[in-house]
Structure 1
Amino acid sequence: MGEEAHRSVQELAASLGALPPEFVRPEHEQPAATTFPGGAALDVPVIDLSEPGYGARVAAAARDWGLFQVVNHGVPSPVVAELQRVGREFFALPREEKERYAMDPASGRIEGYGTKLQKDLEGKKTWNDFFFHVVAPPAKVDHGVWPRSPPEYREANEAYCRHMQRVARELLGHLSLGLGLEEGAMAEAFGGGDLVFLQKINLYPPCPQPELTLGVAPHTDMRVAGSTRCTFLCRVEYSSCL
């Protein structure tokens, strides 16, 4: 494999004064075209999970929009901060250490450390590095691909996942009721205790021309190969300059 295949966006960002052409998105995908400059932004539903009766609003937002944002979800700020901390510490490791956990899609290994220096179908690249792995259920988890440095990585991920499982159960319960089903119907249909949770920690290094590129391009989230059950993809996203 060539040198570029091993080089991360993080390393590339440290040596650039201008954005390489392969990172420049088509004009309609550039950030200036997607942030509603000079006009009103779309009023995407925001659901406050601490308010009484929020379940009905969850069902309505799913029916009318197909997506919504939740706030006051009960995930403690220290849990989120710790997950971000271990993620930053991992990305600060030397390249050789990070590559011990590199994903290898050619061999079927989709979990681990990766970068978006690979081109998409339009010949473009996105501005991020990431770490991706299954966090639940235990039977699907391979701790062999999880970083051993920092040593708190596993504890931080598992603590965050427990809260994500709780939030997912609550939302699936309200969606079930909104469909006129028993509260546990959707969770059971999607696998019950075998519901798969995927964790993706994205790193967005400082960019010399952020108005021209994207950290995540338009996409459809994946599902676990060979599975007909529901998969939850939990993302933790932050800039390396924080």
Structure 2
Amino acid sequence: MAQVKVQAIASMLHSKDTIPPEFVRVEDEQPGATTYRGPAPAVPVIDLADTDRVVDAIADASREWGIFQLVNHGIPAAVIGELQRVGREFFELPQEEKESYAADPRSGSIEGYGTQIQKDPNGKKAWGDYLFHNVWPPSRINHGMWPRQPSSYREANEEYTKYLLGILDKILDSLSLGLGLEGSALKKALGGEEMDMLLKINYYPPCPRPDLALGVVAHSDLSAVTILVPSDVPGLQISKDDRWIDIDYVPGALIIHIGDQIEILSNGKYKSVLHRATVNKEKARISWPVFCSPPPEMTVGPLPQFVSDQNPAKYKTKKYKDYQYCKLNKLPQ
């Protein structure tokens, strides 16, 4: 039986001031009560074209914040615009057509169209739907999970991915050099050219009570690095100094999240950012993260350079697929 999607629920609501109780977060998660409204420092904005400073800037931001915004990244605005257009048009298709791409939990894959991927201890639901599919490497791509409509969907995603590969290399090189390693060290430890790139389109319909609901609950990313295209409808928040603060929208910027696997490899020198997504009362909000991760069978643990008697390993070494299974099912690592 297909899950009822949030987009369908939102379209059927009769009241403009209430939402079903399963979407009302517990009080200490409600954004209306927990968002910090005072002055807060801004997430670092890093110029990828500033070759003299980019390594230090990325390393510093990854230690202190676990997130930064990247400008002058070299992806043409038209390529990003097309990625956004075809993604938006997919979610405007009739519900029945979208359901033909529904994720099948029995397959063991998270690819496809769905809602609510993580278990919630309070039985609550997130106010958002998604589309997942792999974009790299070619051996992992299942074009059956790529929408056939709009007709230019495949071309737009393939063109965007070409640019993304080079950006990921630059980010990983900078992170490696920032740790005193060779530029290729982290990429090699994450599977090299076989690194997975999984695209997700997050779709958050307008929500009558954005003060009570979340599009995505607080979490850090499973990935090594997440490269995200935002829209101009704000909603990304991070936890900084025990406060939930809003991330400013920077036109044309990519938002880069440091994920769990980079924190593990660096034995905690770099920080996997805790973040969540809020929703909007008047507008749908969409984002396009790509999760860049080790292959499922790759074993990841703290690099030996960062482990000693004085500084023991802070994380277990395990296959990425096992780490993923434990985290998604709320099991101890």
Task: State the TM-score bracket (shorter-chain normalisation).
Answer: 0.7 to 0.9
Structure 1's 241 and 128: CA in aligned 2 closer, same or farther, altered over 3 A?
closer
CA distance in structure 1 between the partners assigned to 2:106 and 2:113 by the alignment: 14
The one-letter amino acid paired with 2:284 is S
SS at match of 1:213: coil
From the superposition, tell whether residues 133 and 88 of structure 1 become closer, same or farther in structure 2 (CA, over 3 Å). same
Distance (whole Å) between structure 2 residues aligned to residue 90 and residue 96 of structure 1: 12
Letter in 1 for 2:162: R
Q: 1:240 aligns with which of 261, 274, 284?
A: 284
Structure 1 residue 42, shift from structure 2 partner: 4.0
Q: Quick one: structure 1 residues 119 and 55, their matched pair in 2 at CA, closer, same or farther if it must change by over 3 Å?
A: closer
Question: Under a length normalisation based on structure 2, what TM-score does the superposition of the two structures give?
Answer: 0.64
Q: Deviations over 1:113-152 (max 9, x none)?
A: 1123986222111111110011101111111111111111
Question: In structure 2, how many angstroms separate the alpha carbons of the residues matched to 1:118 and 1:41?
Answer: 30
In the alignment, what sits opposite 1:14?
11
Equivalent position of 2:331 in the other structure: none
Contact 2:32 2:210 in 1 (8 A): no
What CA distance in whole angstroms lies between the structure 2 residues aligned with 1:181 and 1:117? Answer: 36
Aligned to 2:184: 184
Letter aligned with residue 115 of structure 2: T
Q: Is the 8 A contact 1:25 1:124 kept in 2?
A: yes
* TM-score, length-scaled by structure 1: 0.86
Q: Could you tell me which residue of structure 2 aligns to residue 40 of structure 1?
A: 39
CA distance in 1, matches of 2:285, 2:107: 34
TM-aligned CA distance change 1:236 to 1:32, over 3 Å: same
Q: In structure 2, what is the equivalent of residue 54 of structure 1?
A: 54
What secondary structure is seen at the aligned counterpart in 1 of 2:217?
coil
Q: Distance in 1 between matches of 2:34 and 2:163?
A: 31
1:213 to partner: Cα distance: 0.7
Higher helix share: 1
Q: Deviations over 1:98-127 (max 9, x none)?
A: 111100113323101112398622211111
CA distance in 1, matches of 2:54, 2:40: 23
Unaligned runs of 5+ in 1: 224-229
CA distance in 2, matches of 1:160, 1:96: 28
In the aligned structure 1, how far is the partner of 2:213 from the partner of 2:44?
27
| Within-5 A mapping of 1:195-214 | 195-214=195-214
Q: State yes or no: 1:143 paired with 2:143.
A: yes
SS at match of 2:211: helix
- Superposed CA offset, 1:60-111 (max 9, x none): 2222333323233222221121111111111111222111110011332310
Per the alignment, residue 221 of structure 2 pairs with 221
In 2, distance between residues paired with 1:14 and 1:118?
A: 24
Paired with 1:234 and 1:8, the residues of 2 have a C-alpha distance of 25
Structure 1 stretches (4+) deviating beyond 6 angstroms?
none
Aligned equivalents of 1:23, 1:205: Cα separation in 2 = 13
Q: d(CA) in 2 for partners of 1:19 and 1:189?
A: 45
The offset of 1:241, in angstroms, is: 7.1
Structure 2 distance, partners of 1:74, 1:107, is 37
More deviation, 55-64/117-126: 117-126
Say which structure is richer in strand. 2
How many residue pairs get aligned? The number is: 231
SS at the partner of 2:12?
A: coil
**Residue 194 of structure 1, CA deviation:** 0.7
Greater shift, 113-122 or 100-109, is seen at: 113-122
Q: Distance in 2 between matches of 1:23 and 1:119?
A: 14
Q: CA RMSD in A?
A: 2.2
**Which amino acid is 2:97 matched to?**
E
CA distance in 2, matches of 1:118, 1:14: 24
Could you list the runs of 5+ residues in structure 2 that have no partner in the other structure? 232-282, 287-333
Secondary structure of the residue that 2:46 maps to in structure 1?
A: strand
Q: Is the 8 A contact 1:202 1:236 kept in 2?
A: no
Higher relative contact order (CA 8 A, sep 6+): 1
**In 1: Cα distance, 2:33 partner to 2:60 partner:** 29
Local SS of the residue matching 1:59: helix
Determine if contact 1:201/1:236 at 8 Å carries over to the other structure: no
Q: Does residue 94 of structure 1 match 2:94? A: yes
